Each structure stands twice: as C-alpha cells, then as structure tokens.
Chain A
C-alpha cells in the first residue's frame, strides 16, 4: 500500500519539477488561485513556495489527495449544506500541520477554480482553506496570508477570512496591514473589521480603540469594532498557549474591557451599547467591576446603566 502511494506520487513531483525547470508555472495564475502568486510574492518567493509544495507532495502525498478529494466532494456537500454556507474547516484542520502545503497549493497556486460550484460553496471552500491555514499559525504561511490580505478579494467573506487567518499569527508588525485592509474596504468594511480581534495583541487593541474614537464609521463598522475588541480579549482564548505566549494578556484584556465600558457609558445607540456589553462579558476581565466603578465616576449620569452592566457581569458564565 505504501509503495503504491509513493509510486503514484512520483509523477506529480516529477511533473512539477519539470514545470519549474521550464519556468512555465511561475507565470501561471491558476484559475482557482486567489491571486497571481508570482506577482504578489515576487518570482523568487513564489518559486520557493512551489518547490516546498513539490517537496511536500512527495513527503505527504496523502494530504494532497485528500484536499483534491474534498474539493471534488464539494458539490455533494453543497447540496446537503445548512445555514449560511458550506464549511469544510474541520476536515481540512484534521490534516494537521503537514497538510498546510496541500492547502496552500490549492488556495494560492494550483487551485482548480470555481468550476460548477455555486457561489456559496466556492466561497466556503476558499474561506475554509484560509481558516484552516490560519489556525495552524505556521510562520511559513504568513507571507502567503499577507499576500492574500493585500489581494483584497472581491468576495468580502474571503477577504475577511484572510484578515482573520493572518491576525491569528499575532504578529504586531501585521497590525497596520490588517487594519488598513479592513478600513479601506468601503461599504463592506464591517465584514472585515470584526475579524481584526483575532490578532490578540496590544497594538491591535490600541488601533481598534482609536478606530472607535475616529468619526466617520457607520454603525455596522462600529459594531464590528466592538465585536473585535471582545474577540481580542476573549477570556477563553487567553487560556490557550498560542495566545498566552505573547505575555500581553493583562494589557490586551484590560484595555479591551476599558474601551468597551467607555463606549457602553457614552454611546446613545442601543445596538452599540448592547454589542459593547456583550463584548465586555466575552472578555470577562477580572477587574471589570473596578473599571465599571471608574466609569461611573466619569459618567455619573450613566450610573444606573453601569450598575446594570455590573450585575450582568457578576452573573456572567465567562469570567
């Protein structure tokens, strides 16, 4: 069985090597790829990725077969779908870290394209691939995701998934790129803004807080920023090693909680107040009662409403 697999994988590897030697693939922008990799990454970088993908195909042919098979199954899965979309995130995630090259190949280099997939399934496929790559947090995927964020896909949900995936790496140097990608999205900005909070870094919370203070954002955008602050400070996320390693828990969660409580105390928009309260509870920062007390001092006219928030916090299941 093993021997057969190896034998089957060889032609792929050989074929790809031949293509690379001829230089043909470097100029290609496969129909299903998110963007022109050579243009987005530079020819050398793109070539390097192709080489690594070719090597991965030899080392882990199974992942490539599974990704191809999943792609082939999408029309069937799409017919059975529920809700807003098709998700194959968990099957892709089950490939583990070694599967990232097969996913990257599909997404950024050799993807077969939409074909007969309907728009929802096609979106679901690309979103799931981005999510699955992002949750691995492997540094070698970051350049591809940065390119994906810059690419700014015409489908806002795909663009959002790219922002979310890169944000999960938690690299402060990506904050500008992420925030710019979201804020420059125009009418769809809110769809991307709510993904920023998956970059759980102090620099991101600072930018999100500044965005709240900047006039000109419409209500959907402000609601997404408030949601992002909740995501950044998410109490349970901060229990996991991937997030904790930054050492910024106190900075992120306390700043997020404070910004949210300030909005709660000052906004006149009921939907903003509700969203801010929800995010305060998602953050579940232990010093929230003190932050609320301080807000009461600054905004005495909101005492009653802040007391109500304090009561909700006291019985919150997430603290």
Chain B
C-alpha cells in the first residue's frame, strides 16, 4: 500500500457530500407505509383485563405489503392471501439497510479494507433517524382485541435467514427498538403492533442465503400454538446501463501532468451537451471506470413510489495481495467516501483469485446490456450484465457469484481474453437511439472497416497522409517519441495489421453472442472503425478506441479524439463516426484523451464514470428469477 496515494478523506467527503446534495440523494423520512400501527401510539402493551375466553378462533395475523402498493391493508385479503409464498406477482419486499443515513461512518485512510466496509445503518441495533426508518420495511400484526389473559406471542424468522436480517418493534413510546424473540404479553396482541425489518447485507451467495425470509407470528393460547407466516424478499442490487440518464459524472482530478487536457476537454464536452459537470475524484488513479460501479436497490415506498438506496460498488481489484490490511486497489476506497444518506458502499473480493486475471475485476469489464426481450421470450427489463469471462480467464468468482445471486440481470459472458486489458468496454458500447423501437443500439469496433477505409484512402493516392500528428508516446521525454505515422506505414506494419485482423474476428464472435442472447440484428450494430496492435501477444487499440465512450445525455456521446488521417480537409474516421451515429439522434462530443489515457491502454470510458437516474418503474419484483 502506498500511503502517498491514499485519497484525502476530507476532500473526498466534501466532494461527495456536495454531489449528493446536488443530486438530491434519497429523501429522508416518509418511509415504511402509510398505515399507522394498530392501537395508535400504544405499541407494545402489558397484559390488561380482557375476556377469559376467546369467543371465536384466535386472530393470529401478521401482514406485510404483499401487493406492493406501499401500504398494508389489515382488512380484506390483499395483503394476506398467499402470504407465505413469494412470486413475481405478489410478495413483500425489504431492503438491505446498508446506507449511512446519519453519516456516522468514518472515512479514514487508517481503516483497513476490512474495517472500512463494516460501518452502515444495519451494523448496529438502532434506528438511525427518520431516513433510516424509511429504509425498514413494515409488517403489522393485526389486533386480537379479545386475546385471553395468559396468551403469549413471539415473532420468529426462519433459521436460514436469521443471521441476515434484523427485526424492530414499535414500542409503547412509539420508538422502534430491536426485537428480541421472547414471549410477549397478551395486551400487545390485543392492540396489534408494528414490526420493521432490514437485511444486514445484500445477497452475496444464494447457497448461503437466498434473500427470502419467513417471518412467523406464533401465538400460544393455553399451550396451543397458532402461527401465521409471511414471506419477504430482500431487494437485489441492480446495476445501471448507459441508456439511463446520467445524473452524475466522475473523472479523477488533474493529478498527473497529462490530466489537465483531459479534464478540461471532458468539462467542455459536458458543458456543450448541457450534461452534469463531472465530479473530480481526489484519487491518484485516472481509470475512474475501473475502481467503482454504481447501482441501486429499490422497494415500494409508502404511498407509492420507490424507496431507493444507491449503491457504490468497489471493484474487486486486488493490487496488494500480500497486504493483510490493504489488499484492494486503493482508489476503490472512494466508494466509502460516497457512503451516506441513501447511499451504500460495498465490496466483494477474494484475495486468492489469480493476479493474472485481476484486470477482469476492473469495472470496465462490468457493463449492462440495456433492457430487452431475449429470443427465448424472457423479458430482461433491467438488461443483462456483460462481462469478459471465459473458462481460462475470468473475474473474481466471489464477485461474479454476488452478481449472479441478484437474480435480475443475468450475465452474458464474452471472450475478451485476446485483449491485453480484457474489458468489454474496449470493443462495445450501448447508446440510446431514436431510430428503433428497442430504444438503444450498440456501437461496436469494426477493425476490418478501419483497414478498408485506410486501404481505400491509400488507393486514392493518400498513402502519405499523416495520422497522429503532433501526438507523442510520452511527453515526459520532451516530445522525442512522436506517434506520427502515415496511412501507408500503418498498412505495411505487420504487427498492427495482424492484430487488426484478429480483432475483427474476435469482435465478430462477440457480436454473434449478442445476437444469439439478445436478439440483435446485424443492422443494429453501428460500426466504429479503429485498428489494433499486439503487445505481449495480446491486442490493444492502436488508434484511439472511439467505441470506448460515455453516454452523457440522451443524445450526446463522449468519444476520444482519434487523430485520424485528414483527407481533403476531413478527418475520415471522425467523419465516419459522426455520420454513423447521427441517424440514431446522437451527437459526438470529442474529448482529448491521448496523453492521459490512450497511450496507457485506455480511453475516455475507462477514465470516467457515471451515476444514473433510477428508472421510474424499477419494479424488479416482476422479473426476478
């Protein structure tokens, strides 16, 4: 661990607090659901005089928001019918309450990777304010006014879920306190009472906990037990896709001599597009896409709407496997600076995963194919995760298991093992389109087209036209290593040409998988030409990989300046790209990333990140598997 590279806690917090305030965060309070607890403020009460004998059968009835309308009906059977089952149509939902609503959690460079993740609202047994209460899903126990004296009750959760959830009960003072399973008095049952539930964590491994909890009310009347069980399911962690509107963009602050040009160019692009200005992350790592990802969790909110917790996900990059305290990529700690009201931060990694494959743990290798109905008829309303992963070259299995365990966005795996970096964003990007009912389309590297364009230009007499003019491979060497080349030289460079041919075939295979899995047609792919080169036997973009960009508004796409050959006053690659995306309603905003990113094996998508709006209808419960 390099102390000098640790982010400055105070700066990070300031940045994120400002950002979250600007974005509104999650509204505090107003949580749970509308129905007041039966018995008003009485809450838990002691035994009181009552009939010695129950006139009819006992009322043993625990209810939750089974119909997901934001309230619990104690009358009728809307929130009672089939309550011990959970289906896509019916069943109550709760959240992993892992945000930090009262900003109690420290962000300190001294906290180890294990320590820093431990703090969140579910880490203690108190309700941390009104906003925290809103994150707790409500259950109601229907009053049994005639419960006989001596009747006792208890609430239990099934053993499989017991370690993963916590129950609270509304006491007579109106406060929520942690529920301890012990026999309760009849008086409480007569008045009815309110319970709340939180998950202490998201589901990480369905073989350990599948996210369901069965909450059982057990009532003991004269030694005879009566029970009623309601089943709830924890909200999954969902990832954003690029077609969702960006409400926050991120780049690393200008930490390196080469950063300034990139950062100012990025800012100019967002300004021109009227997109959010990028938050500057105070980290010594320019690959902002790689060390975190953004996601969210949703449950129905009282009175309608959605109760949301945003989630910042640290990458599983293990940069210091020998370090017990700080094994992970340092810049990823930024997620814990983001942690706050309505914002959670998580990490999941296995330090034993192969270092040779660690690059696949960068979140440039974690994208989401936007919503679609697959050829098999399955509605992937939240899209599907897309990762580079093959049998011999795959990301951290524990992180992948976490993703798989969510059950909403199954993973499509493509082969990126032929790339030196190995990320899916090197060859593919998803962008909005106005030209198809699907609403989005795919930009895809077309290396063969690059060769054809260059060959055509050469044939037309432009072999000596320059590319990469005034660009250098390292500025620290006082411009002694010019990158400048010509069309003719490129076409006669064996290693570039060989790598480009292989890239064309490998990307074709990636497209075939998307066609098969998603149902995309050939005409839905937008060709983005650029050539490749080999290093260490693997492929890299030789020309700036213009596919590696960011959707910053519904109509604006940031792409890296390609410094292509200018023929008759026109940069033919720039011109091709702009014309290719124009029919989709997309304007290209060119960002200069040669120095900071391209020559170090990445582009603008690799060097930025985005937080995106939660879908207005994020009812994942309709599609979860």
Contacts and interface: CB of A to CB of B under 8 A. Distances in A.
Interface of A: 62, 66, 69-70, 73, 76-77, 79-85, 87, 89-91, 94-95, 124, 127-128, 131, 135, 157, 160-161, 164, 168, 194-195, 198, 220, 230-231, 234-237, 239-243, 271, 278, 281-282, 284, 316-318
B507 to A, nearest CB: 8
A231 B500 CA distance: 11
Contact of B502 (A76, A168, A234): A234
Contact of A282 (B421, B480, B502): B502
A317 B448 contact: yes
A164 B480 contact: no
Contacts of B449: 317
A318 B505 contact: yes
B188 interface: no
Given A90-B533, A94-B482, A194-B537, A236 B421 contact: no
A164 B499 CA distance: 14
Contacts of B86: none
B622 interface: no
A86 to B, nearest CB: 9
Contacts of B535: 85, 87, 89, 127-128, 131
B497 A236 contact: yes
A90 B598 CA distance: 12
Contact of B505 (A66, A131, A316): A316
B33 interface: no
A194 B422 CA distance: 18
B473 A94 contact: yes
Given A94-B473, A316-B508, A83 B481 contact: no
B391 A271 contact: yes
B246 interface: no
B494 A318 contact: no
Contacts of B391: 271
A318 B448 contact: yes
Which residue, A127, A128, A237, has most C-beta atoms of chain B within 10 A? Answer: A237
Contacts of B536: 84-85, 87, 124, 127, 131, 157, 160-161
B509 interface: yes
Given A82-B421, A157-B536, A317-B505, A168 B477 contact: no
B481 A95 contact: yes
Contacts of B483: 90, 94
Given A82-B602, A281-B508, 12 more contacts: A84-B356, A84-B422, A85-B420, A85-B535, A131-B536, A194-B537, A195-B537, A230-B502, A317-B449, A317-B505, A318-B504, A318-B505
Contact of B497 (A89, A91, A131, A237): A237
A198 B534 CA distance: 11
A284 B508 CA distance: 14
Nearest to B5: A79
12 contacts: A70-B477, A76-B476, A81-B600, A82-B359, A82-B601, A84-B420, A85-B535, A90-B599, A94-B481, A94-B482, A135-B495, A240-B492
The 4 closest A-B pairs by CB, nearest first: A83-B421, A317-B448, A236-B497, A236-B501
Contacts of B509: 278
A95 B473 CA distance: 11
Contacts of B451: 236
A237 B600 contact: no
B601 A83 contact: yes
B477 A135 contact: no
Contacts of A157: 536-537
Interface in B580-625: 599-602, 606
Nearest to A235: B501
Contacts of B476: 69, 73, 76
Interface residues of B, number: 58
Contacts of B504: 317-318
Nearest to B542: A90
Contacts of B446: 317
A185 B534 CA distance: 23
B252 to A, nearest CB: 11
Interface string B461-505: 000000000000110110011110000000111110110111011
B4 to A, nearest CB: 10
B551 to A, nearest CB: 22
A83 B493 contact: no
Interface in B536-576: 536-538, 540
A317 B508 contact: yes
B466 to A, nearest CB: 14
Nearest to A239: B497
Given A168-B494, A317-B448, A87 B481 contact: no
Given A73-B476, A90-B483, A124-B536, A281 B505 contact: yes
Contacts of B480: 62, 66
A83 B360 CA distance: 8
Nearest to B536: A127
Contacts of B287: 82
Contact of B501 (A69, A124, A318): A318
Nearest to A234: B498
B270 interface: no
Nearest to A72: B476
B478 to A, nearest CB: 9
Contact of A83 (B5, B422, B491): B422
A168 B533 CA distance: 15
Contact of A87 (B285, B392, B508, B601): B601
A278 B494 contact: no
Contacts of A198: 498
A236 B533 CA distance: 12
Interface string B129-164: 000000000000000000000000000000000000
A32 B421 CA distance: 27
A237 B504 CA distance: 13
A76 B284 CA distance: 11
Looking at B2, B538, B540, B601, the one whose CB has the most chain A CB atoms below 10 A away is: B601
A70 B493 CA distance: 23
Interface string B281-298: 000111100100000000
Contacts of B422: 83-84
A84 B421 contact: yes
B506 interface: yes
A80 B256 contact: yes
B606 A82 contact: yes
B98 to A, nearest CB: 30
